[in-house]
Amino acid sequence: MKSLFILLLSLFAFANTCATCHKKEAIKCSHSLHFTHQKEISLTLKAFDIKDYNKSISTLPKPKSNPSSKEDLAYDLLERKCLRCHIDVISPKNRCLACHNSHLNKNDSFRARPTQKKCLTCHNGNFIGVDFLGLFPHDFDKSYRSPLDKRGFYPKRLGGIDYHHLIKDIHAKKGFTCISCHNNKISSNWEQISCISCHQKISAKNHPSYHKKISCIACHSAWQTNSYKSILLRSDIANYNDFKRLFVSEDPYLERFLPLAIKKKLPPVMPNYLDKKLYKGIWYQGYLFRRWEHFFLINFQNKIELARPLLDFELTYINDKNQTIIDAQNFGGFVVTKPHTIIKEAKSCEMCHENDIASLPKAKIFKGALIEGSPLTKEQEKKLHSLKYKFLRAKDFFK
């Protein structure tokens, strides 16, 4: 019933705007992953080990002012930290313009196909998107900035984020944009794009039969973003000096708030991005570290795919009496990742076959469970490191 009410409210909000003519598209948008955020919300709640995790924007419970459980804290985290990329936040008066307006020359320029810049408004930072352009986000710290350019200035921060500049995806180098592949069903849900949609004539010589169950991306991605131990803290006290090094932290509100709060002793408040009201408590986020050099292999839908520790969380809540109510609850998990960092050359054999942490059971330093997929089987691990396959690889190499 609540979902129906949200849908009707959404359609009413479209009245006298784009939906006057584009009613079907408006309905599709209201059901799309870009609007409901169902995948991101459900996966995050599942990582927190919340049983009733299948949620969306319309079914998220209202956060409590004083959380007493991990469920309460997770709902508050989502609405006051994670969902600032929600369409209604980006374009509150007409959500269509969140993607279909480019603001050229101070005039509205409506586009049937969103620009790549629009896509990267949300698909940035720690997520798939900007890696297509070879951008890897820095660790957080006000002193950890990109090198100065020739004029003595820091490089422009795309989306307010500092990046290392790594190798671009080969498709980006050739002039492709996001919409070149994700072109038909964005307003409803993602179309399943695969490499063979374009690359149908794949050389059997260069792709031996024993690699037939390995995904293309597992070998042909140059690098991937890995974030280890995401530390999430809600603090209801004004201990801003403890976090003054987070002036650069990928959170626009926090970056504006912290300098002012330290100077003017402001109360600790932060917006709920869904109802647009301020509530007590500041959400801080950090990582143990972020790197691109390691990768992990898992079984997923009958393919060996790449995985990353995206949902490896520590969760803490300190109330306004400086009492720790929820203390560093450890959850976490590895999820399937498909980095957009494709190169023509495949990874070297050694990057998999001599990689001690490629198979998750061996990665004892990472305690997060698998949220998606399963570890490689003992048989697969045995093949991965066997002399037989070393000889086969050598034979292929010297053909």
pLDDT 10s per residue in the chain (399 long)?
Answer: 444 444 444 544 544 478 788 888 888 888 888 889 998 899 888 888 888 899 998 899 999 999 999 899 999 999 999 998 888 788 777 778 888 876 554 555 677 788 898 889 889 888 899 999 999 988 887 677 767 778 888 777 777 788 888 999 999 999 999 988 887 555 445 556 788 888 887 776 677 777 888 899 999 999 999 888 888 999 999 999 999 888 788 888 998 999 999 999 999 999 999 888 999 999 999 888 888 877 888 899 889 999 888 777 888 999 999 999 998 666 667 889 999 999 998 888 778 877 776 666 554 455 557 778 888 888 887 777 777 777 766 666 555
Residue located via tokens 């140059």 = 222
Q: Specify the pLDDT at position 43.
A: 85
SS3 of residue 389 by DSSP: helix
- Of the candidates 141, 391, 153, 132, the one whose C-alpha atom is nearest the C-alpha of residue 243 is 141
Q: Specify the pLDDT at position 220.
A: 93
- Phi then psi dihedrals of residue 173, to 5 deg: -60, -30
**Each residue's pLDDT tens digit, 298-313:** 899 889 999 888 777 8
Q: Are 248 and 140 in contact (CB under 8 A)?
A: yes
- Angle in degrees, CA 308, 78, 95, rounded to 5: 105
Q: Bridge-partner residues for 308, per DSSP?
A: 335
CA distance 242 to 244: 6
Burial group, residue 14, by CB count within 10 angstroms (0-12, 13-18, 19+): buried
Q: Are 393 and 352 in contact (CB under 8 A)?
A: no
Q: Specify the pLDDT at position 15.
A: 47
Burial group, residue 91, by CB count within 10 angstroms (0-12, 13-18, 19+): middle
**Each residue's pLDDT tens digit, 231-243:** 899 999 999 999 9
Q: Are 270 and 278 in contact (CB under 8 A)?
A: yes
Taken in order 48, 52, 57, 63, the sign of the CA dihedral is negative
Q: Specify the pLDDT at position 14.
A: 47
How many beta carbons lie within 10 A of that of residue 11, not counting itself?
14
SS3 of residue 165 by DSSP: strand
- Phi then psi dihedrals of residue 211, to 5 deg: -105, 10
Taken in order 211, 214, 220, 224, the sign of the CA dihedral is negative
SS3 of residue 339 by DSSP: coil
Q: Which residues of 287-304 are buried (b: 16+ CB within 10 A; e: fewer)?
A: beebebebbbbbbbeebb
How many beta carbons lie within 10 A of that of residue 60, not counting itself?
17
DSSP annotation of 307 reads E
Q: What share of the chain is helix, strand, coil (3-state, %, to 5)?
A: 35, 20, 45
Domain locations in the chain? Answer: 2-131, 220-397
Q: Specify the pLDDT at position 9.
A: 47
SS3 of residue 208 by DSSP: coil
Q: Specify the pLDDT at position 47.
A: 80
* pTM recorded for the entire structure: 0.84
Q: Which helix (H) or strand (E) element contains residue 271?
A: strand 269-272
CA distance 153 to 17: 42
The residues, ordered by sequence, that sit 6+ positions from 68 with a Cβ below 8 Å of its Cβ are: 325
CA distance 63 to 48: 16
Residue located via tokens 């921060």 = 157
CA distance 264 to 287: 28
Q: Are 230 and 285 in contact (CB under 8 A)?
A: yes
CA distance 366 to 10: 42
CA distance 117 to 302: 35
Alpha-carbon distances of 339 from 130, 225, 302, 394, rounded to whole Å: 10, 8, 19, 28
